[in-house]
Amino acid sequence: MSGDGAARLAEKNRLIADTVALRPTDKVVSVFYTMFWHAKAGGATCRDMMYDYKKSAEITKKLVLDLDPDMFSLPHPVSALGPTMELMGFKTLEWPGHGTPDNVSYQYLDREYMKPEEYDDYLFDPTGYYLSKYLPRIAEAFEGLAALPTLPSLYYVQIVHGTRYFASKEVRGAFERLAKAGDEMRSMLRVAMGFAQEMADLGYPQAQGPTAIAPFDYLGDNFRGSKGIMLDMYRRKDKLMAAMEKSIPFILKQAIEVGSRHACKMVFIPIHWAFDGFMSLEQFKTFFWPPLRKVMMGLIEKDLIPLVLWEGECSSRLETIADIPKGKCIYWFERTDLKLAKAVLGDITCLRGNVPASLLTAGTAEEVDAFCKDLIATAGKGGGLILDGGIGIPDEAKYECVRAMIESTRKYRP
């Protein structure tokens, strides 16, 4: 690492740490986070970014060096997933080159991946349920694993006899296919890690480390689908509550393991089903917040920083979600009025957001500058603000608007 790079990295890391801890700063933090904007800004397609690891790194490097944000998110874990998903026959997304056109972002398929009567199976033995039912449904490569026996049913020489299952055509095929997918994932991660180091050497820290999930979203997004989980709130409330509780140690284990060795201690938690219009405040306080808070507290105990992206408008939730330790989290709001959030939460947590996607996409650089100036003066007053788009830089944002957003953090003092 050159002296310049090391000094820049230390300076940016200090600014980020001070901002999260709510210490006064002379600048708000800027960030480069996007799904696929780098493709369009770099003259490539979304499909290129899904499949060409090196190109994704090269383009991102060029954009980050040009825009000079205080931190950046590695594109690979978010968008360079095409080859591995193809090898494993991943079924819950459609992506550029595989279901969506080359220049369209990947999109999640909202389906029921766990049947309502299967809550008991998940609660009894989550791992067994994953192997026999869930994983075979979400990716072709796992289908053969359904032929495995219930492993704890084997004991003593039964375990010796049980080796025969692993020689079955189905299981053997599954492991072979998964190994190929795993090799591909390792290739991707090698490029990603190399790129992360290169950017650190140039002085740019990463904007997120591991990811975690709210237990309600874990069940809603990945198992029951949006309709299923809404019905479960009435039809099988106790099982839903029990399944959320059951998921917490698993969610934490993964995030803490990755977080312990990651350079970035911010744990990204995108929140999907908490917005004002979705469920009542009472339902939010019953179903959503308590299990999410447990996840957040589990991360904080391990010196990780929950970076919670509250999608949609969440104004009615602000008082409830204020119940967290001071200076230990980041609350990123998509559409919630950040000035209101500052008034309610400004003494408790660092805020992030929220230049509207419409402004970055259909506005002018001058409009973006004026918006950011106001946001820094109000939501950023005294520090504690990471300036970003509502959900990062939208894929269709104009370059000059993105530049204006990041430049504003250098132009206007909080």
Q: Of these, 283, 315, 320, 378, which contacts another protein (CB under 8 A)?
A: 283
For position 107 contacting another protein by CB under 8 A, the verdict is yes
- Region near another protein per CB under 8 A, out of 4-12, 97-105, 125-133, 345-353: 97-105
Token pair, residue 370, equals 């004026």
For position 226 contacting another protein by CB under 8 A, the verdict is yes
CB nearer to another protein: pick between 76 and 272: 272
Q: Please report the beta strands in 288-391, taking only residues with DSSP state E, as ranges in sequence order.
A: 305-310, 330-333, 350-355, 385-389
The one-letter amino acid code at 217 reads D
Picking from 269, 336, 266, the residue whose alpha carbon sits closest to that of residue 19 is 266
CB nearer to another protein: pick between 27 and 40: 40
Which residues does 190 contact at the CB level (< 8 Å), separation at least 6? none
CB nearer to another protein: pick between 361 and 378: 361
Q: Of these, 130, 278, 373, 400, which contacts another protein (CB under 8 A)?
A: 278
For position 116 contacting another protein by CB under 8 A, the verdict is no
Token pair, residue 353, equals 């957001």
Length, in residues, of the chain: 414
CB nearer to another protein: pick between 191 and 230: 230
For position 97 contacting another protein by CB under 8 A, the verdict is no
Q: Work out the angle between the directed axes of helices 237-261 and 225-235 (0-180°, nearest 10).
A: 130
Q: Of these, 206, 286, 361, 378, which contacts another protein (CB under 8 A)?
A: 361
Q: Of these, 270, 306, 363, 383, which contacts another protein (CB under 8 A)?
A: 363
Strand partners, 206: 72
Which residues does 151 contact at the CB level (< 8 Å), separation at least 6? 128, 162
For position 185 contacting another protein by CB under 8 A, the verdict is no
CB nearer to another protein: pick between 57 and 318: 318
CB nearer to another protein: pick between 148 and 230: 230
- C-alpha distances (whole Å) from 272 to each of 163, 216, 253, 312, 353 are 42, 9, 21, 8, 16
- Region near another protein per CB under 8 A, out of 20-28, 170-178, 360-368, 406-414: 360-368
CB nearer to another protein: pick between 150 and 280: 280
For position 238 contacting another protein by CB under 8 A, the verdict is no
The whole-angstrom separation of Cα 373 and Cα 321 is 27
Q: Of these, 164, 227, 253, 326, which contacts another protein (CB under 8 A)?
A: 227
CB nearer to another protein: pick between 184 and 334: 334
Q: Of these, 67, 138, 292, 359, which contacts another protein (CB under 8 A)?
A: 359
Q: Of these, 233, 242, 297, 300, which contacts another protein (CB under 8 A)?
A: 233
Q: Shortest Cβ distance from residue 171 to another protein (Å)?
A: 34
Q: Shortest Cβ distance from residue 278 to another protein (Å)?
A: 5
The beta-carbon contacts of 226-234 under 8 Å, at least 24 apart in sequence, are: 226/110, 226/273, 227/112, 228/112, 228/114, 228/116, 229/273, 231/116, 232/116, 233/279, 233/283, 233/287
CB nearer to another protein: pick between 395 and 407: 395
The whole-angstrom separation of Cα 232 and Cα 226 is 10
The whole-angstrom separation of Cα 371 and Cα 364 is 11
For position 399 contacting another protein by CB under 8 A, the verdict is no
How many CA atoms are closer than 13 Å to the CA of 299, on its beta-carbon side? 35
- Region near another protein per CB under 8 A, out of 178-186, 256-264, 273-281, 341-349: 273-281
In the chain, count H helices and then E strands: 21, 10
How many residues lie near another protein (CB under 8 A)? 36
Q: Shortest Cβ distance from residue 292 to another protein (Å)?
A: 18
Asked if residue 405 lies in contact with residue 359, where contact means CB atoms within 8 angstroms, the answer is no
For position 364 contacting another protein by CB under 8 A, the verdict is no
For position 340 contacting another protein by CB under 8 A, the verdict is no
Q: Is 361 helix (H, G, I), strand (E, B) or coil?
A: helix
β-pair type (266-271, 385-389): unpaired
CA-CA-CA-CA torsion sign (162, 163, 169, 170):
positive
Token pair, residue 367, equals 């409009």
Q: Of these, 1, 10, 65, 109, which contacts another protein (CB under 8 A)?
A: 109
**What SS3 string covers 370-389?**
HHHHHHHHHCCCCCCEEEEE
For position 365 contacting another protein by CB under 8 A, the verdict is no
For position 370 contacting another protein by CB under 8 A, the verdict is no
Give the binding site for another protein (CB under 8 A).
Answer: 94, 100-101, 104-105, 107, 109-110, 226-227, 230-231, 233-235, 277-280, 283, 313, 334-335, 356-359, 361-363, 390-391, 394-397
